[in-house]
Each structure stands twice: as structure tokens, then as C-alpha cells.
């Protein structure tokens, strides 16, 4: 890399902002370009315990987030179960989270260029070691190029194939005035996705996600609005947003090249999103850290191997099992129905679910843990079935066999 030119980062979301802060703190000159800088998007904004442990400065930003300890899972048939999460999820407004990370980057010495100054990058040319980034105002030169501009990154096709519709999810959501302490996840019949309700510090983020090409955005919005009305949410004063997320198939992850001569992609630009949950914040931050560390060490090509070991191995497995998770069968019932029922019946399974939401239970060793706890899960399920009066199974008007809240037991 040429010492004469800075490192250029295109995209100022969590991945780009963290990468910039780390590089600048390490003594590198960094210029960061973004069209909108801190902005809202229709996602939950949840940071797991794993993410907060890895990036403790985010855990210290308590006033910017809403720690949530209770979660409700709802199966496609309407079974509901609430459980306590041992490690709370810190739910941020994306406006607040992105702003916090960008301010850290500025304090570290990053030159942040924003579209209000007509500094949006319109063209990238050159090669590794000498990139030219053109804005309406001027041309910049860069020794290394980091792309962090999300799934809609307009420059991705210069380096990799464009993301096809089969590797994307459509999301639509509302920011609803009000406060809550309960995170809700509603799985849907026939849709590879779910409805979410995430309580933020001063409003609720409610949204829906589905595989692109499977269900139209208009239909997803209709389903979401009907569900919100049925569950007591009012849209007076709410703001609507829609967005797309990467949701790569296994074969796409297998052939992914996240870096090359003088360039790298991080976060959503590289497609680093869990295809089961749609969670991408941890992977955005971790890929930024890995890439920045490789650059600071003077070995940028190490990013490829580090990403494979720490991120891609997990995401590849998630992609392989995603379809079975949403449409598969187990023990004579759908995976989603069985997951909700086991969460209601078994304390051991609730502990597992809590660790999954915390991010400390990965996919690679999930099967071995399931085998270990299976005897306890079966015994607890039988005991729960025998303990409950059989009349409770048919008396709930919502059709839920497991409406009793295990938190109160």
C-alpha cells in the first residue's frame, strides 16, 4: 500500500465506522464517505451479549439502548411462550448506534466526508495501491479501498457479481411511538422469515422479513399491519420503512471472495448476515475488526483466512440449515412449532434459546449440545405435560397450548 494516500472507506454504517476508528487509532490516515451517515432502517437494532462483550464501549452506552430481558416466541399456528433471557439484548435505534460509532471514528482522526458537502462517491477507478474515488467536488486517491455500503452497494459489481434476488431478503417495518419491555418474534406459515417487535429506548421497531421473490413487499406489509392490529399496536404517528438484506445461500457463501488486490468488503456489502435470523450487526463489527487488524499488521490478505475461520464457517452452516429451519419437520411437527413447544415445556431448552439469543451458542456446536440436553428436554416435557390440567389445552381463545408464561413459574 502506498504511504502517500489514505485508506478509503465507502460506507459509514457500523462496519465502516468501526473499521475507520480502529485504523485511525492505529496511526493510519483514513477518509470515510457516506451518503446519509447515521440513519434509521427497519431492523431490530439488537446487539447480543457476545457483541457487547467484544465491544464493551457499546455496553457502556447505556443511555442509547434499551436492555431487554424477556422474549416471546410465537409459532405459525399461534402457540406462544415467553422466557427470560439470562443475558439481555441491548436494542439500539440504528440512528443512535450509527451516530455513536461515527463519532468514535471522528474522535480517532477519521476524515468523514458526507453527501451534504457533495462528497458522495460516484465513481471508483484505478487498481490496488492507487485508487481514484470521484465525487462531485473533487477526486481522491487511496492506497486501499474498503467497501462498507451495504447490500445495495453500487460498486460491488466492479469487484464481485451483483447479489441476485435469490440471495436477498425483503424487510418492511414501522417505528411506532411507545415503550415496551418485551421482544417478540412471530414465525409465519409459508414465509421464510418472521415478524419482529423490538422495544427501543423511545419507540418500538416492528417489522417483517421474507425471502425476495417468495412474497411481495406489499403483501409483507399487509401481513405485518394485520398482525400489529390484532396484537394491539396502533400506527398513529408511526413511520414506515423498507429495506433489503443479504440472505446468502450456502453455495454463495462457498464461492464468496471478500477481498482482493488492494480492496476488501465488510458487513452487509460482503453479505455477512445470518440467513436464519437476519442478524448482521455482530458480523459487520467483527468483519471490520478483522479487516482493520490485517491492514494494521501489514498483511491485508490475512483478512480472507480470518473471515473464513471466525465468520464464514458459522454463516455457511446457517445457510445449509435455513430451509429446514423454516419448512422442515421434526418429531412429526414443523421445526418452528416444535421449537416453541419445547421452549414452553423445558427449562433446559429455554437455557439453550437464551444462549442462542445471547450469541454465545453458535451453530457449529449446536447439534452436540442438543444431543447432550435431549434426555432432560424429554423428561421436562413429559413432566410439564402431566402437570398441566388437560383443560388448559383447549380453553385458550388464541389457540395457544402454551400460553402460560414460564417466567412466572
Sign of the CA dihedral 7, 13, 19, 23?
A: positive
Look at strands 182-187 and 65-74 and give their pairing.
parallel
Name the segment(s) of the chain with CATH classification 3.50.50.60: 7-41+95-161+249-320
pLDDT of residue 406: 38
The rounded mean pLDDT for the chain is: 89
Sheet of 123-127: strand order equals: 123-127, 130-134, 139-142
Tell me: pLDDT of 384 over 80. Answer: no
pLDDT digits (tens, 9 = 90+) for 257-290: 999 999 999 999 999 999 999 999 999 999 999 9
Name the segment(s) of the chain with CATH classification 3.30.9.10: 66-91+165-246
pLDDT digits (tens, 9 = 90+) for 145-168: 999 998 888 899 899 988 999 999
Per-residue confidence band for 296, with pLDDT thresholds at 50, 70 and 90:
very high
CATH class for the region spanning 66-91+165-246:
alpha beta
Per-residue confidence band for 37, with pLDDT thresholds at 50, 70 and 90:
low
pLDDT of residue 94: 80
Question: Stretch 228-242: mean pLDDT, rounded?
Answer: 94
Tell me how far the alpha carbon of residue 49 is from its chain's centroid.
Answer: 14
pLDDT digits (tens, 9 = 90+) for 339-377: 999 999 999 999 999 999 999 999 999 999 999 999 999
Kindly report the pTM of this predicted structure: 0.90
Per-residue confidence band for 42, with pLDDT thresholds at 50, 70 and 90:
low
| Domain range 7-41+95-161+249-320, CATH architecture | 3-Layer(bba) Sandwich (3.50)
Tell me: pLDDT of 63 over 70. Answer: no
Distances (CA, A) of 307 to 18, 82, 245, 315: 16, 35, 19, 11
Q: What is the dihedral of CA 326, 316, 171, 50, to 10 degrees?
A: 100
In this structure, are residues 346 and 381 in contact, taking their beta carbons and an 8 Å threshold?
Answer: yes
Amino acid at each position: 500500500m502506498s504511504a502517500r494516500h489514505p485508506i478509503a472507506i465507502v460506507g459509514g454504517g457500523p462496519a465502516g465506522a468501526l473499521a475507520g476508528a480502529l485504523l485511525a487509532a492505529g496511526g493510519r490516515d483514513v477518509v470515510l464517505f457516506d451518503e446519509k451517515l447515521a440513519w434509521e432502517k427497519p431492523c431490530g437494532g439488537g446487539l447480543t451479549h457476545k457483541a457487547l462483550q467484544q465491544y464493551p464501549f457499546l455496553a457502556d452506552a447505556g443511555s442509547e439502548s434499551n436492555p431487554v430481558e424477556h422474549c416471546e416466541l410465537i409459532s405459525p399456528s399461534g402457540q406462544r411462550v415467553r422466557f427470560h433471557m439470562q443475558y439481555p439484548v441491548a436494542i439500539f435505534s440504528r440512528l443512535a448506534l450509527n451516530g455513536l460509532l461515527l463519532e468514535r471514528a471522528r474522535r480517532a482522526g477519521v476524515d468523514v466526508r458526507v453527501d451534504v458537502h457533495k462528497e458522495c462517491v460516484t465513481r471508483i477507478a484505478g487498481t490496488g495501491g492507487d485508487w481514484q474515488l470521484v465525487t462531485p467536488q473533487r477526486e481522491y486517491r487511496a492506497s486501499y479501498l474498503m467497501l462498507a455500503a451495504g447490500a445495495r452497494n453500487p460498486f460491488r459489481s466492479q469487484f464481485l457479481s451483483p447479489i441476485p434476488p435469490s440471495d436477498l431478503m425483503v424487510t418492511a417495518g414501522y417505528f411506532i411511538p411507545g415503550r415496551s419491555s418485551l421482544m417478540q418474534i412471530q414465525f409465519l406459515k409459508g414465509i421464510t422469515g418472521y415478524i419482529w417487535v423490538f422495544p427501543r429506548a423511545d419507540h418500538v421497531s416492528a417489522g417483517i422479513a421474507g425471502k425476495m421473490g417468495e412474497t411481495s413487499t406489499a403483501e409483507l406489509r399487509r401481513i405485518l399491519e394485520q398482525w400489529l392490529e390484532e396484537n394491539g399496536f396502533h400506527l398513529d404517528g408511526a413511520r414506515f420503512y423498507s429495506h433489503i438484506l443479504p440472505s446468502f445461500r450456502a453455495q454463495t457463501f462457498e464461492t464468496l471472495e471478500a477481498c482482493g488486490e488492494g480492496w476488501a468488503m465488510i458487513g452487509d456489502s460482503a453479505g455477512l448476515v445470518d440467513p436464519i435470523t437476519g442478524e448482521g450487526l455482530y458480523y459487520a463489527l467483527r468483519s471490520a475488526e478483522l479487516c482493520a487488524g490485517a491492514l494494521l499488521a501489514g498483511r491485508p490478505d490475512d483478512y480472507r483466512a480470518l473471515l473464513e475461520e471466525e465468520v464464514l464457517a458459522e454463516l455457511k452452516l446457517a445457510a445449509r440449515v435455513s430451509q429446514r429451519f423454516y419448512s422442515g419437520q421434526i418429531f412429526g411437527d414443523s421445526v418452528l412449532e416444535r421449537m416453541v413447544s419445547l421452549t414452553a415445556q423445558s427449562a433446559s431448552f429455554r437455557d439453550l434459546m437464551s444462549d442462542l439469543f445471547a450469541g454465545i451458542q453458535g451453530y457449529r456446536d449446536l447439534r452436540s449440545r442438543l444431543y447432550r440436553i435431549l434426555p432432560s428436554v424429554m423428561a421436562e416435557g413429559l413432566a410439564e405435560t402431566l402437570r398441566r390440567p388437560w383443560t388448559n389445552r383447549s380453553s385458550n381463545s388464541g389457540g395457544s397450548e402454551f400460553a402460560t408464561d414460564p417466567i412466572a413459574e
